[in-house]
Structure 1
Amino acid sequence: MAVAQLTLDPAFRIAPVDPRLFGSFVEHMGRCVYTGIFEPGHPSADDDGLRQDVLDLVRELGVTTVRYPGGNFVSNYRWEDGVGPRGDRPRRLDLAWRSLESNAFGLNEFMRWASLAGVEPMMAVNLGTRGIEAAAELVEYCNLADGTAAADLRRKHGVAQPHDVRMWCLGNEMDGPWQIGSLTAEEYGRLATRAGHAMRRVDPTIELVACGSSNSDMPTFAAWEATVLEHAYDQVDYISLHTYYDPEKHDEASFRASAVDLDGFIENVISTADHVRAKLRRSKRIKLSLDEWNVWYQSRFTEPEDRDIEEIPALIEDDYNGTDAVVVGNLLISMLRHADRLTVGCQAQLVNVIAPIRTRAGGEAWRQTIFHPFAHTARLARGTVLRPALTSPSMSTGRFGDVPAVDAVATHDEQTGRLSVFVVNRGTEPVPLTVDLRAFPRHRLTQHLALTSDRPEPVEQAPAEEILLPPVSWHVLCLTPEESR
């Protein structure tokens, strides 16, 4: 039986773990908001209609940052529709998903929900049907204390203190022909620069995220990023990445190795951003925001124009299995492996829509399989990311050729001494794993969490000298120094 060996050393540092890597995404799409996080009259709902059973699961999941209100939805959204007395708010046709938007849940409700959930808000502005003026006024409404029209309007709406939103997305997927108001790279680069300039005049301390390609299969991928950044490099802090992995698009082995694709996607965007940095002779390095990612059975998706107009339609409520959970765990490993440049991540979406949490209207809320690797990584990835030296047997894939069957990353919490090792076996054969701890001679395995494709509920294994990785499985190995046990 082929074996894998993993060697850990504190000198193999990548970067500190940024808590923003463990973000999520709430869009006005399907049942993410309505009957998801917000359902007046639900047995668990508070006086504002926020479902407490969902809030409890969000806290357990360990989400740190939530992007809002879209997504495709934002490119036709008037933020003013969702503030003020509910009885005065207009019902609108959302062009992105061809659904009726009641606007019963809007900006201030989201901010209260975010406060209760303990998450940092990440706001997106409409650069599809609107632009500079509306974006700057939204920053003013959110971040200024008083004394201006928009800030005083917020106070009139019963919110005395500013929301103090730090991160702002300059539109969403503006290269996509499906996007309302899509643009060329030249058009978007100029608009993002001007909008960002105006937004920073309102609040110079905000962080701005420029739209990268909607995915790496777009025909303009990399050229889009290069053109946008040549315009907006001095104005923005991040470039976005969006990617989804469909279990039915390629052969099953290639799906299990989806993190190979994510590794290449991240590295290509880094290379493109650094090329522009060199061309413009700048010292600043652009960071990456993977603000949409997940497993999505996209081949089953029905396009908006093929559906009747509904209010609160059930859209892409995928049911996840154990293999999907292992792939999500591996994608998180890839994200940590690039923590020196990738510092924001938002799994899309949080509730009901390709989500780790599902609900029934008027009923229960529950965890999907993909909930578990996210929750454990968000809880246990602390301190500094370490790059293990790893040898592994290979597996064959139709898309990537031969790739390592075992993939891993580790974190070292210097304060507690804890090592957390995140490991996947994406192959179909069991693999024994040995961990070389010569650089950490006092450490011992104290906890082993595992899930497999046929047993997706996480199980705590008894710590053992020899670790066997079952086929298609995800693991967390917690090692602690003897003096702290």
Structure 2
Amino acid sequence: MSNCDVTLEPGFTIAPVPPRMFGALVEHMGRCVYGGVYEPGHPKADAAGLRQDVLQLAREMGVTMARYPGGNFVSSLDWEDTVGPVAERPARLELAWREIEPNTFGLNEFMSWTQLAEAEPMMVVNFGTRGIADACNLLEYTNFPGGTKYSDLRISHGVRDPYGIKMWCIGNEQDGPWQIGQKSAVEYGLAAAETAKAMKRIDPTIEVVSCASSWRFLPTMNSWQATVLEHAYEYVDYVSLHGYFEPIEGDRAGYLASGLVIEELIDAAVATSDYVGAKLRSKRKLQVAFDEWNVWYESRFSIDDRYADQNLTWEFAPRLIEDTYTAEDAVAVAGMLMSLLKHSDRVTVACLSELVNVIAPIRAEPGSEAWRQSTFYPFALMARYARGHVLRIEPRVEKLHSATYGDVPAVDVLATLDAESGAVAVFALNRHSEPMTLQVAMRALPEMSVVGHVVMGGTRLDATNTEASPEQVVPEPSTEHEITDRKLLAQLPPTSWTMLRLDPAAALRD
């Protein structure tokens, strides 16, 4: 059995764990909203139609931010249709996914949901069919106290106090040929700069996210971002990244190395931003909002032309990309989130895409209880236990060959330290088809005891959670660990994700 060796040094840190790292996308796509977070008449719905079982799972999952209303959906949305008396709201053709949008769940319903979910809202403005004026009007509606057209409109809708939304995205994937209102880099950069400038005149406290290169296979990847920032660098605060991954036939090591691709995307986005900043002699450093990421079995999304989407018919809340996730997918998702956390010095916002039903960790059906998919668990466990600072560590481990990515580390490790409590969390991804031994040197830390050890994967990698059997894939407790002379040894099953929690107070009690 091979080893993976790491050393924990409390003085070597990357950054604090960002509270906004554990966000999720709530998009008007398929059954994410209708039949997901909102389903009037469902046995678990409250008087407002919000499903309490979904809400409870979102809280359990630890979602700290909710990005809304899209996604591609936003690029043809008239936000004014989503507010006011529900009976007076028009139904519209939604162009991104060719759906009928009734607008019965809108901006104020979403804000009520975020308050109940204890999640910060992240608002995306339509930059496809609309622009500066509409973004400013929406901001006035949500954030201005009163005495003006749109703030008074909000008050007339029963919301006296402004929402004070801080995070604003100027459009979504505007470089993509699939996007309604696709823009060139110069076109978007100039417009984004003027929009951010105008919005910050209304509310100087907001933080603005610029679109960056949205799909790693586009020929304009990174160069589009560089051109945008030539115009918008001084007015925006974040650049947005998106990344979706699926199993690679015959290359499990490559699939489980998806997190390494995320790290490459982050490194390129940071390098591009910093280059433009240096070129402009700016004193500012932009952060990264990795506000869409997940496993998506995109090859199953059968359409003849991905840009025309002619196979999508005009329906209300159709079943779109409701992927069922396996234990192996949970291991892959865990690795992706670990990679995001390892870059928490620059990635301070991230959103799993999406929250419910649509490539989601939570599934919901009419008339029954919502359930957790396999991918729910690693997200929830890291949201709960990754606390304090991310430690800077360098695992020493053998390489595996991936047909897609070349040689990749057999094991990836992330550790966090909460200085206040002294608690340490260690997360390990074993890409190898064989078991590995994790050896963690902790001489710079006080005496520790293991207070939690769970594993996902290892066996039955194709197992899934379903409505009929919702607990086939759950974190399994393990006792395969020991601490001797301030060195932790833990067994990592093949193709698995492991979480170990250590506590100095427990060691004192022992």
TM bin (shorter chain)? over 0.9
String of CA shifts for 1:301-334, please: whole Å, max 9, x gaps. Answer: 1343112211110000000001100010011110
Are 1:460 and 2:477 matched, yes or no?
yes
TM superposition outliers: structure 1 runs of 4+ over 4 Å:
none
In the other structure, the counterpart of 1:93 is 93
Q: SS at the partner of 1:105?
A: coil
String of CA shifts for 1:346-389, please: whole Å, max 9, x gaps. Answer: 00000000000000022220000000000000000110110223
Amino acid at match of 1:287: Q
Structure 1 segment 298-317 matched on structure 2, within 5 A: 298-303=298-303, 304-317=309-322
Structure 1 segment 9-48 matched on structure 2, within 5 A: 9-48=9-48
In the other structure, the counterpart of 2:485 is none
Whether the aligned pair in 2 keeps the contact of 1:35 and 1:359 (CA below 8 Å) is yes
In the other structure, the counterpart of 1:474 is 497
Deviation at 1:248, TM superposition (A): 4.1
| Change over 3 Å in CA distance of 1:153–1:250 after alignment to 2 | farther
String of CA shifts for 1:252-305, please: whole Å, max 9, x gaps. Answer: 321111111111111111111110011000111000000000000001113431
Are 1:283 and 2:283 matched, yes or no?
yes
Q: SS at the partner of 2:28?
A: coil
Amino acid at match of 2:32: C
In the other structure, the counterpart of 2:388 is 383
Amino acid at match of 1:337: K
- In structure 1, runs of 5+ residues without a counterpart are none
Partner Cα separation in structure 2 for residue 402 and residue 364 of structure 1? 43
Q: SS at the partner of 1:389?
A: coil
Partner Cα separation in structure 2 for residue 441 and residue 167 of structure 1? 39
| Change over 3 Å in CA distance of 1:484–1:285 after alignment to 2 | farther
Q: SS at the partner of 1:31?
A: coil
Amino acid at match of 2:70: G
Structure 1 segment 394-433 matched on structure 2, within 5 A: 394-433=399-438
Amino acid at match of 2:500: L
Partner Cα separation in structure 2 for residue 412 and residue 363 of structure 1? 40
| Change over 3 Å in CA distance of 1:236–1:484 after alignment to 2 | farther
| TM-score (norm. length: structure 2) | 0.93
In the other structure, the counterpart of 2:126 is 126
Deviation at 1:426, TM superposition (A): 1.2
Structure 1 segment 286-297 matched on structure 2, within 5 A: 286-297=286-297
Partner Cα separation in structure 1 for residue 61 and residue 132 of structure 2? 36
String of CA shifts for 1:428-470, please: whole Å, max 9, x gaps. Answer: 1110111111111412322111111535310121262131101
Are 1:80 and 2:85 matched, yes or no?
no
Deviation at 1:393, TM superposition (A): 2.1
Partner Cα separation in structure 2 for residue 132 and residue 362 of structure 1? 43
Are 1:151 and 2:162 matched, yes or no?
no
String of CA shifts for 1:161-211, please: whole Å, max 9, x gaps. Answer: 111100000000000011000000000001101111111111111000000
| Change over 3 Å in CA distance of 1:484–1:258 after alignment to 2 | farther
Whether the aligned pair in 1 keeps the contact of 2:122 and 2:168 (CA below 8 Å) is yes
Whether the aligned pair in 2 keeps the contact of 1:123 and 1:167 (CA below 8 Å) is yes
In the other structure, the counterpart of 1:214 is 214
Percent identical pairs in the alignment equals 53
In the other structure, the counterpart of 1:332 is 337
In the other structure, the counterpart of 1:323 is 328
- In structure 2, runs of 5+ residues without a counterpart are 304-308, 461-472, 483-488
| Change over 3 Å in CA distance of 1:249–1:73 after alignment to 2 | farther
Are 1:447 and 2:452 matched, yes or no?
yes
Amino acid at match of 2:348: T
Amino acid at match of 1:19: P
Deviation at 1:249, TM superposition (A): 6.7
In the other structure, the counterpart of 2:466 is none
Whether the aligned pair in 1 keeps the contact of 2:37 and 2:55 (CA below 8 Å) is yes
| Change over 3 Å in CA distance of 1:274–1:423 after alignment to 2 | same
Whether the aligned pair in 2 keeps the contact of 1:64 and 1:119 (CA below 8 Å) is yes
| Change over 3 Å in CA distance of 1:425–1:385 after alignment to 2 | same
Deviation at 1:250, TM superposition (A): 7.4
String of CA shifts for 1:134-153, please: whole Å, max 9, x gaps. Answer: 00000000001111110000
Partner Cα separation in structure 2 for residue 212 and residue 428 of structure 1? 36
Deviation at 1:216, TM superposition (A): 1.7
Q: SS at the partner of 2:179?
A: coil
Whether the aligned pair in 2 keeps the contact of 1:8 and 1:388 (CA below 8 Å) is yes
Partner Cα separation in structure 2 for residue 398 and residue 484 of structure 1? 49
Whether the aligned pair in 2 keeps the contact of 1:428 and 1:471 (CA below 8 Å) is yes
| TM-score (norm. length: structure 1) | 0.98
Q: SS at the partner of 2:383?
A: helix
Whether the aligned pair in 1 keeps the contact of 2:92 and 2:100 (CA below 8 Å) is yes
Q: CA RMSD in A?
A: 1.2
Q: SS at the partner of 1:402?
A: strand
Are 1:370 and 2:375 matched, yes or no?
yes
- Report the number of matched residues: 485
Partner Cα separation in structure 2 for residue 80 and residue 451 of structure 1? 45
